[in-house]
Amino acid sequence: MGEKILLATQNPGKLREFKALLSDLGEALLSPREVGIRLEVEESGQTYRENAVLKARAFAAASGLMALADDSGLEVDALGGAPGVRSARFAPQPGATDADRRAYLLQRLQGRPQPWRARFRCWIALATPEGALYFGEGTCEGQIIPEERGQGGFGYDPIFLLEERGVTMAELTAEEKNRLSHRALAVEAIRPVLRRLLRGEPSAG
């Protein structure tokens, strides 16, 4: 009763996606700005799961609320799984933009045989103020293409092709992406726990 969940991210693209994916929870979701918190958590973990836990625990401790964090990344087989956990920091220059990171990735792939098989992977961690942790994971397979397509999404979406659909992640509507993406699948995996904690419903599956 009266429980809230803090979305532990300052990334506006992620906030939009989480609020859309969890729209059934409505007013139970809060952004850091709504509770007056601004945290920059060092993502020092070696895995997505470790980084998600670092962020969820930091926001839960700062707010006294349950906090939901994710860490996700792009894994390209031709680069040995890079950029992986460094996806958001995968560029040689400081202050790089999403476009800079996409350009750098394509530069690194030049001369390597195609197709450039890849996947987006996401881990979600939910931390309670009392220290309990819950997890969800999602993976979306595809390939990297050498030209950008589409205006939607963010990050590496314009160069990530969903082969069975023939479109990039950035060419999907927001509704389509929120059914197919790695983040959508991770949210579905943890949704029963969220319902149980917020509404007292049994956690199934």
Taking a C-beta distance cutoff of 8 angstroms, is the pair 169, 157 a contact?
yes
Q: What is the model's pLDDT at position 2?
A: 55
Taking a C-beta distance cutoff of 8 angstroms, is the pair 85, 45 a contact?
yes
Q: What is the pLDDT of residues 144-170, one digit of tens each?
A: 999 999 998 889 999 999 999 999 999
Question: CA-CA distances (angstroms) from residue 123 to 69, 89, 151?
Answer: 8, 18, 25
Taking a C-beta distance cutoff of 8 angstroms, is the pair 76, 114 a contact?
no
Residue of 24, 70, 71, 157 marked active site = 71
Q: What is the pLDDT of residues 51-66, one digit of tens each?
A: 999 999 999 999 999 9
The yes-or-no answer on residue 71 being catalytic is yes
Taking a C-beta distance cutoff of 8 angstroms, is the pair 170, 158 a contact?
yes
Q: What is the dihedral of CA 203, 13, 55, 8, to 10 degrees?
A: -60
Domains and CATH numbers, the chain: 5-199 (3.90.950.10)
